[in-house]
Each structure stands twice: as structure tokens, then as C-alpha cells.
């Protein structure tokens, strides 16, 4: 069999997904045996024009990490989609919008003002903001256009498979590589994770869930055996797809929801809100307690939509 051709790209994300691929350790050699890397800006020296010169569908699979928040990322997403047989949304940002998707609580103007004018570390007396084109003595310079709204990869191009996680855990990446190597791929549109909630694979003991108060993780030392939610720690487990191996839970930290909603769920945040409000054991006529409940989840929308705002039903703040 001829060697496969592999492309990787990093759009609006932190770079952790690229590192996660390298975390395969010695298995990365198997990847090198299996596939030729034809484009991977962080690791190899092929350029945009090299990809443009390739025939359509000549790349066997593309691992695309990161959300799409500017015109350059959109252009490369479209280019790689044209050139790739299989497009994989790799990691929470490409899958759901991820942490960069939280920018949808603001718009471009607010983000630029904060980043380039207000931030204390700035030295910008001329109040310069990024422009898509600017004239200098040498000619005209261009920058990609920064969008108002961050999008997940499948809101820009067609996506064949999803690999969730922030970043995707190594066993799942191995599974993807094995599936591609053996040509035993699941149906298109599949997510490489469990179809059950994280609670299903969580090793902790679970009893009746009733809480009087919510604690932030730094406020208490949680019992390592008991369900975190029962101890009053906001754990996104009930509303999150399993398959990660409960990594955070095993480190005594609550789930933050990076694997996204369960297969039949359209809105992870709404589900978590529903679950949490149900187990609060307070009197609804007690206005003080009700107000306190809302305050205790310090940033309701930000916590419940931490990784999935661009793909939620209401995918941005109305301005």
C-alpha cells in the first residue's frame, strides 16, 4: 500500500492539540511509517503555495485543530477541505468552538478595544487598531479580517470525523490513527468518543444528589471517592460525553465539559443548567437563597458553555 498523506493545521487554538499529537511518544514513529506529512506548519516546512499546488483530494486525511475566527483560517480550512479526502475536526475548538468561542460574548470592536487600547500592558498612544490593509512607504500591507463571531470548523466546511477533547487524550488519537491505518472507519460524522455521559465511566461513588451550596474548586479539598457534584463542586459530567477516561476526575478536579454534549443533545449548557438547578435543595420562596444560587455559579453562561458556545442554540451574545 502506498503511504498515506497527512496534513495538520492549527487555527484559532492554543497549540495544545499539536502537542497532543507529539504526546503519542514512540507511536509517532508508527505515524511516520504510515503517512507522509505533507503539511504541518509547526513541524515541517511546507507552505501555503505547496498545498495549493496539490491536486484536489490528494491528501488522505487532515487533522484540523482550532476554531475559525479570521479570514485566513477560513481560507486555509477551505483549501484543506478541497485537498483532503477526510477532514477531521481535531480537538474541542474545531469540534465545538472551544475556549476561543467564548469571544462570542463580545464582538470585534469590544475585543480590539480591550486588547489594543485598555489592557494595562499596552503602549499604544496613537490608538492603532489592526486594519485589513494599511499603506506604508514600501506599498500596501494586508492582514486577515478578524470576524465578529467565532465558528466551529463544521460551520465553515464539511467535516467527516470529530475528535473531541482539550486536548484529545492520547488513547483517542491512537484509536483514530489505527482506524485510518486499518481502513476501518466509523460512519461519517462520528465522534471518536463514548456515546454515554462521563458519569457512566466515572469511578466515584454516587448517592442522592442534593446540594445546599456550590463551592469553587479552590474553596474546599474534595473527597477523592465521592461524586464531586454531591460535594457541591460544579462538575460538567452529567452533560458531557465520556470517553476521556475521566482524567480530570481522577486528579480530583471537576469535569469542565471539553468533550461536548451527548449525541442526542443540541445544547450542552442548557442540559447542565437543568441538571444543576434540579439538585439545588433550596426553597424557591427564599429569595435570598435563590439569588445566592445564581451568584454561586460565578459565570453561568461561561461555565456551562465553556467549550461549546459557537455550536450552542444561541451561539453568541446579541449586541
Partner 1 sequence: MRNETQVKKSGFEPKILAFCCNWCSYAGADLAGTSRIQYAPNVRVIRVMCSGRIDPTFILRAFQVGVDGVLILGCHPGDCHYIDGNYKTARRIHMLKKMLSQLGIEDDRLRLDWVSAAEGKRFASIINDMTERIRALGPFVR
Scanning 47-55, 58-66, 211-219, 284-292 for contacts with partner 1 by CB under 8 A, the matching segment is 284-292
The DSSP call for residue 12 is B
For the bound state, the minimum distance from the C-beta of residue 107 to partner 1, rounded and expressed in Å, comes to 11
Rounded to the nearest whole angstrom, what is the least distance from the CB of residue 67 to partner 1 in the complex?
18
Phi and psi at residue 202, in whole multiples of 5°?
-70, 130
Residue from 86, 170, 181, 270 in contact with partner 1 (CB under 8 A): 270
Do residues 65 and 19 make contact, with C-beta atoms less than 8 angstroms apart? no
Query: How many CA within 13 A on the CB side of residue 98?
Result: 29
Residues in contact with partner 1, shown as a per-residue x/- string from 74 to 113 under the rule CB under 8 A = -------------------------------x--------
Minimum CB distance to partner 1 smaller for 119 or for 298: 298
Extract the C-alpha cell encoding 280.
439545588
- Specify the stretch interacting with partner 1 by CB under 8 A; choose among 54-62, 90-98, 111-119, 282-290: 282-290
SS3 labels along 177-237: HHHHHCCCCCCCCCECCCCCEHHHHCCCECCCCCECCCECCCCCCCCCCECCCCCCECCCH
Q: Closer to partner 1 at the Cβ: 4 or 276?
A: 276
| Least Cβ distance, residue 26 to partner 1 (angstroms) | 44
The residues that bridge with 211 in the sheet, in sequence order, are 280
Question: Residue 60: which residues within 8 A CB-CB, separation 6 or more?
Answer: 4, 5, 6, 35, 84, 85, 86, 180
50 versus 295: smaller Cβ distance to partner 1: 295
Output the furthest CA–CA distance in the chain (Å, rounded): 70
In the complex, least distance from residue 301 CB atom to partner 1, rounded to whole angstroms? 4
- Decide if residue 124 touches partner 1 (CB under 8 A): no
Tell me the closest approach of the beta carbon of residue 147 to partner 1, in angstroms. Answer: 16
Closest C-alpha to 150, from 207, 93, 189: 93
Q: Based on the shown chain and the rule CB under 8 A, indicate whether residue 180 belongs to the binding site for partner 1.
A: no
For partner 1, the closer of residues 112 and 280 by Cβ is 280
Scanning 23-169, the segments in alpha helix (DSSP H) are: 27-34, 48-53, 71-83, 92-96, 108-112
**Does 269 interact with partner 1 (rule: CB under 8 A)?**
yes
| Residue among 156 and 211 whose Cβ is closer to partner 1 | 211
Site string for partner 1, 300-319 (x = CB under 8 A): xxx-x-------xxx-xxxx
- Chain contacts with partner 1 (rule: CB under 8 A): 105, 265-267, 269-271, 273-274, 276-278, 280, 282, 284-285, 290, 293-294, 297, 299-302, 304, 312-314, 316-319
Amino acid at each position: 500500500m502506498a503511504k498515506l498523506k497527512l496534513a495538520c493545521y492549527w487555527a484559532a487554538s492554543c497549540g495544545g492539540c499539536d502537542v497532543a499529537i507529539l504526546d503519542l511518544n514512540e507511536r509517532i514513529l508508527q505515524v511516520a511509517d504510515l503517512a507522509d506529512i505533507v503539511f504541518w506548519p509547526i513541524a515541517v516546512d511546507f507552505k501555503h503555495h505547496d498545498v495549493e499546488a496539490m491536486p484536489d483530494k490528494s491528501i488522505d486525511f487532515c487533522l484540523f485543530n482550532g476554531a475559525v475566527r479570521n479570514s485566513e483560517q477560513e481560507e486555509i480550512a477551505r483549501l484543506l477541505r478541497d485537498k483532503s479526502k477526510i477532514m477531521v475536526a481535531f480537538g474541542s475548538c474545531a469540534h465545538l468552538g472551544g475556549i476561543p468561542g467564548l469571544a462570542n460574548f463580545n464582538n470585534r470592536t469590544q475585543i480590539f478595544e480591550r486588547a489594543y487600547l485598555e489592557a494595562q500592558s499596552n503602549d499604544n498612544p496613537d490608538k492603532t487598531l489592526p486594519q485589513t490593509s494599511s499603506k506604508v512607504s514600501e506599498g500596501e500591507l494586508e492582514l486577515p479580517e478578524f470576524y465578529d463571531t467565532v465558528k466551529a470548523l463544521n460551520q465553515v466546511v464539511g467535516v467527516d470525523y470529530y475528535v473531541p477533547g482539550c486536548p484529545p487524550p492520547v488513547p483517542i488519537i491512537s484509536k483514530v490513527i489505527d482506524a485510518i491505518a486499518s481502513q476501518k472507519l466509523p460512519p461519517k460524522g462520528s465522534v471518536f468518543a463514548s456515546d454515554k455521559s462521563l458519569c457512566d465511566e466515572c469511578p466515584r461513588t454516587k448517592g442522592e444528589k442534593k446540594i445546599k451550596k456550590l463551592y469553587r474548586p479552590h474553596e474546599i479539598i474534595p473527597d477523592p471517592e465521592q461524586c464531586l457534584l454531591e460535594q457541591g463542586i460544579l462538575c460538567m459530567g452529567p452533560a458531557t460525553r465520556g470517553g476521556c477516561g475521566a482524567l480530570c476526575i481522577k486528579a480530583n478536579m471537576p469535569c469542565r465539559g471539553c468533550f461536548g454534549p451527548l449525541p442526542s443533545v443540541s445544547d450542552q449548557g442548557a442540559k447542565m443548567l437543568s441538571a444543576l438547578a434540579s439538585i439545588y435543595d433550596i426553597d424557591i420562596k427564599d429569595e435570598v437563597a435563590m439569588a445566592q444560587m445564581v451568584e454561586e455559579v460565578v459565570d453561568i453562561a461561561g461555565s456551562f458553555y465553556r467549550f461549546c458556545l459557537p455550536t450552542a442554540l444561541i451561539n453568541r451574545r446579541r449586541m
